[in-house]
């Protein structure tokens, strides 16, 4: 089972959650049960309830974060180190948010999470402001979420955590190369720099051989 949070209340959460649709589609095509928590259900109470009662083997958090927290709708803290990270026990978790691989990731693995994949610095993306209300049509945002989503798509295909991390890193490299050719525009080169930052911030912790069962 996959648990996925999709808060949406300002531009960053609208984008991250919109682009997570690809992950939901792949999971459903593969016949994997998906518990999708949209804006009205990305709350601590509901997330904890699903984690404890249904024990999903795969979890994807989208939105904001800090070194010790993951946030949901309107910035509510969903998971916090030294508080409720044990609810991730037995799961493989991927967090598309800032900094959470710094402190929360190690805490979750210590508390029994099989693996934790996330970013140990800011997760940054570039967009075109004209698509603020229709993120999936924003081709400028594509390389960021294309590389990020590969972690989940690979995990859903039963690849291991390490393989999924490597595949995501490969897509980062491919997209950076595509955006930094000699014919690249100034926007392309800037976006390549940001992708390079995200690629180097992405980390996995825990059992690299773990996979979706």
Partner 1 sequence: MTPQDSQKVVSNEDVKNIVLERLKILSPDTVISIGSSENVSRDELIQHVKDEDSVGELFAEMQMEWIRSFKEKV
Task: Compute the chain's Rg from CA coordinates.
Answer: 16
For 9-30, letters b (16+ CB in 10 Å) and e give beebbbbbbbbbbbbbebbeee
* Dist. CA 199–CA 193, nearest whole Å: 10
Cα(98)–Cα(118) distance, rounded to whole angstroms? 8
Tell me the window of 39-47, 49-57, 95-103, 203-211 that interacts with partner 1 (CB under 8 A): 95-103
What's the CA gap between 84 and 117, in Å, rounded? 18
Distance CA 94, CA 80 (A): 15
Interface of this chain with partner 1, residues 151 to 180, rule: CB under 8 A: none
- Single out the residue of 3, 20, 37, 65 in contact with partner 1 (rule: CB under 8 A): 65
Q: Between residues 100 and 160, which has the closer beta carbon with respect to partner 1?
A: 100
Cβ–Cβ < 8 Å for 23, 3: no
130 forms part of the interface with partner 1 (CB under 8 A): yes
Residue 17-46 contact track with partner 1, rule CB under 8 A, x = bound: ------------------------------
Q: Which is nearer to partner 1, 17 or 154 (CB)?
A: 17
Residue 71 binds partner 1 (CB under 8 A): yes
What's the min distance (Å) between Cβ of 91 and partner 1? 23
Counted residue by residue, the chain has a size of 213
Which of 7, 12, 72, 143 touches partner 1 by CB under 8 A?
12
Rounded Cα distance between 34 and 13, Å, is: 20
Q: Which of 109, 127, 151, 205 binds partner 1 (CB under 8 A)?
A: 127
Q: How many CA atoms lie within 13 A of 55 on its CB side?
A: 6
Closest separation in Å from C-beta 210 to partner 1: 27
Query: Does residue 194 belong to the site contacting partner 1 (CB under 8 A)?
Result: yes
What's the CA angle centered on 54, arms 53 and 60, to 5 degrees?
A: 120
Q: Which stretch binds partner 1 (CB under 8 A): 7-15, 17-25, 29-37, 106-114?
A: 7-15
Nearer to partner 1 (CB atom), residue 85 or residue 99: 99
- Contact residues for partner 1, defined by CB under 8 A: 10-12, 15, 64-66, 71, 97-99, 122-130, 132, 140, 186-187, 189-190, 192-194, 196-197, 200
């Amino acid at each position: 089972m996959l648990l996925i949070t999709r808060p949406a209340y300002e531009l960053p959460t609208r984008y991250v959650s919109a682009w997570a649709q690809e992950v939901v589609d792949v999971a459903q095509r593969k016949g994997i049960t998906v518990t999708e928590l949209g804006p009205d259900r990305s709350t601590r109470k509901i997330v904890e309830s699903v984690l404890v009662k249904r024990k999903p083997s795969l979890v994807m958090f989208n939105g904001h974060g800090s070194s010790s927290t993951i946030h949901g709708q309107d910035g509510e803290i969903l998971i916090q180190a030294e508080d409720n990270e044990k609810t991730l026990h037995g799961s493989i978790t991927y967090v598309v948010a800032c900094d959470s691989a710094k402190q929360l990731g190690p805490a979750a693995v210590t508390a029994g999470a099989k693996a934790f994949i996330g970013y140990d610095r800011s997760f940054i993306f570039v967009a075109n402001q004209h698509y603020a209300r229709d993120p999936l049509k924003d081709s400028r945002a594509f390389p960021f979420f294309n590389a990020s989503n590969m972690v989940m798509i690979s995990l859903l295909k039963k690849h291991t955590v390490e393989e999924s991390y490597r595949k995501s890193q490969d897509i980062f490299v491919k997209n950076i190369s595509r955006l930094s050719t000699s014919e690249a525009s100034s926007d392309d080169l800037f976006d390549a720099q940001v992708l390079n930052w995200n690629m180097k911030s992405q980390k996995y912790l825990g059992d690299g051989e773990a996979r979706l069962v």
